[in-house]
């Protein structure tokens, strides 16, 4: 195994990777901005290097500063976590050319699967059903108009090089197309430096289902699927596994086709293939070439440490897992806890945490980076913790999650804990009668 790994990230995912490294007996290097000096990931790491100011482009997105930290500390590998540079093909290429191991797939595959248009072509070529829409980037408004007439409204305009809801617009009628096409193009350029757009048929009441895979040179295995349909503005709030809406036949078909596709493209590492599911059919959405925010819910369900296995694949080239090793049981739920005020349109809530008591107990896990006295800054994503609970069945998993959320005490900032309680107590959630647009229709505040 590697002797020393640098974690090119911050917050709870940096803490998560440090824990995996420690269990491998690997020394860790934390990088941090000037406002993260006292953060949990810095405290837990064996070494730390300040790489710049609080603006992400000056620190966590600064490739030169990160490579300087590698040279300074002698790290052999870099784990990018999620977000920031985790799916940046240029970064992976620079790391590799410096003789450092990038814990993730090749820069070529990051580039191909990060381009939503190319990823769709690859998926279709390798046997996955894709959503009806444009075959490539839309050159003009006139092209967009023709495609929309061919596939019929409503349609979804999406940024070819992005995600997270940026550059994404729903067009219900033709008279909305020109304005929304222009807005999406501007947003795509602003957030991703790439104004290419593509268009897909829009599903009004879909579920969002994704498959976790681990792949080495020797084989590809799946760790089951996650249902991530509780979303707000395309941002996931709650994930669960298994999906309560898939039949056994649908699940087997989804998982086997996904594994075959990932094998054919020669993927190495942890990855997630995402799908839209509606009326018994699933359609390829995108592939994330990194560890996901929601990976712990799969770890709890399967007993497999995804981050440690990621590191092993990066070190050896092979996965130690066999499909027969994967034996998911029961039901698991994950809630993302953010420093936001739902009553004020989810306004960020920075500040100093004055009291912090995190839940524990049977089959309860908390992944986070918060502690009493820590400062939540306004400069980065507002995610502060994830509560993951497992039950013998979905009903018990819901009750255990509610019990755990009742134990979660954070004072000094506003969090989304109470929102999660309202969601989990809602009849539609209990009955699994919801879709990705459910949160926009319900009034929780």
| Cα-only R_g, the chain | 21
pLDDT tens sequence across 112-156: 999 888 999 999 999 999 999 998 889 899 999 999 999 999 999
2 — pLDDT class (breaks 50, 70, 90): very high
The C-alpha atoms of residue 252 and residue 157 are separated, in whole angstroms, by: 31
SS (H, E, C) 116-178: HHHHHHHHHHCCCCECCECCCCCCCHHHHHHHHHHHCCCEEEEECCCCCCCCCEEECCHHHHH
Give pLDDT, residue 299: 98
Give pLDDT, residue 234: 86
Burial tier of 329 (Cβ tally within 10 Å: 0-12, 13-18, 19+): exposed
Give 234 or 34, the one with higher predicted confidence. Answer: 34
pLDDT tens sequence across 250-262: 999 999 999 999 9
For the chain, the straight-line distance linking the first and the last C-alpha, in angstroms and rounded, comes to 49
Nearest partner of 21 among 33, 9, 32, judged by Cα: 9
Which domains are seen in the chain, by residue range? 4-103 (3.40.50.20), 132-201 (3.30.1490.20), 207-441 (3.30.470.20)
Give pLDDT, residue 164: 67
Q: Is the pLDDT of residue 16 over 90?
A: yes
With contact defined as beta carbons under 8 Å apart, do 331 and 390 qualify?
yes
Average pLDDT (10-15) is: 98
- Catalytic, 363? Answer no
Q: Is the pLDDT of residue 165 over 80?
A: no
Catalytic residue among 226, 232, 290, 400: 290
pLDDT tens sequence across 184-208: 999 998 888 889 999 999 998 999 9
Q: Is the pLDDT of residue 269 over 90?
A: yes
Residue 325 DSSP class: G
Nearest partner of 144 among 172, 168, 177, judged by Cα: 177
Across-strand partners of 157?
169, 199
For the whole prediction, is pTM greater than 0.85? Answer: yes
Residue 58 DSSP class: G
What is the number of H-type helices and E-type strands within the chain? 15, 22
């Amino acid at each position: 195994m590697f002797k020393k790994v640098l974690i090119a990230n911050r917050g709870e995912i940096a803490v998560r990777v440090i824990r995996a490294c420690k269990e491998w007996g690997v020394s860790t290097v934390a990088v941090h901005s000037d406002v993260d000096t006292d953060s949990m990931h810095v405290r837990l790491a064996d070494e730390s290097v300040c790489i710049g100011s609080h603006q992400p482009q000056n620190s966590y997105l600064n490739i030169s500063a990160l490579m300087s930290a590698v040279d300074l500390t002698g790290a052999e590998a870099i784990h990018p976590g999620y977000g920031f540079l985790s799916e940046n093909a240029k970064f992976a290429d620079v790391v590799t050319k410096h003789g450092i191991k990038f814990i993730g797939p090749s820069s070529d595959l990051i580039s191909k699967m990060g381009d939503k248009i190319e990823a769709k072509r690859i998926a279709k070529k390798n046997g996955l059903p894709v959503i009806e829409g444009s075959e490539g980037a839309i050159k003009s408004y006139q092209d967009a108009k023709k495609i929309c007439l061919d596939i019929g409204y409503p349609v979804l305009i999406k940024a070819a090089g992005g995600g997270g809801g940026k550059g994404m617009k729903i067009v219900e009628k033709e008279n909305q197309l020109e304005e929304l096409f222009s807005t999406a193009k501007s947003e795509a350029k602003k957030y991703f430096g790439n104004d290419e757009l593509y268009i897909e048929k829009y599903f009004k009441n879909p579920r969002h289902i994704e498959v976790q895979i681990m792949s080495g040179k020797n084989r590809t295995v799946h760790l089951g699927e996650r249902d991530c349909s509780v979303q707000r503005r395309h941002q996931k709030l709650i994930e669960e596994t298994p999906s309560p809406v898939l039949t056994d036949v649908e699940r087997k078909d989804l998982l086997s086709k996904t594994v075959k596709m990932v094998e054919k493209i020669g993927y190495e590492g942890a990855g997630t293939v995402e799908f839209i599911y509606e009326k018994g059919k699933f359609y390829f959405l995108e592939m994330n070439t990194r560890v996901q925010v929601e990976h712990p819910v799969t770890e709890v369900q399967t007993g497999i440490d995804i981050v440690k296995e990621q590191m092993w694949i990066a070190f050896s080239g092979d996965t130690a897992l066999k499909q027969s090793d994967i034996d998911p049981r029961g039901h698991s739920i994950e809630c993302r806890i953010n420093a936001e005020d739902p009553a004020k349109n989810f306004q960020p809530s920075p500040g100093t945490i004055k009291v912090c008591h995190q839940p524990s107990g049977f089959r309860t896990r908390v992944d986070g980076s918060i502690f009493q006295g820590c400062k939540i800054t306004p400069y980065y994503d507002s995610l502060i913790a994830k509560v993951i609970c497992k039950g013998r069945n979905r009903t018990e998993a819901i009750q255990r999650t509610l019990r755990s959320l009742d134990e979660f005490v954070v004072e000094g900032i506003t969090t989304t804990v109470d929102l999660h309680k309202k969601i989990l107590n809602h009849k539609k959630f209990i009955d699994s009668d919801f879709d990705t647009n459910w949160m926009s229709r319900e009034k929780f505040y």
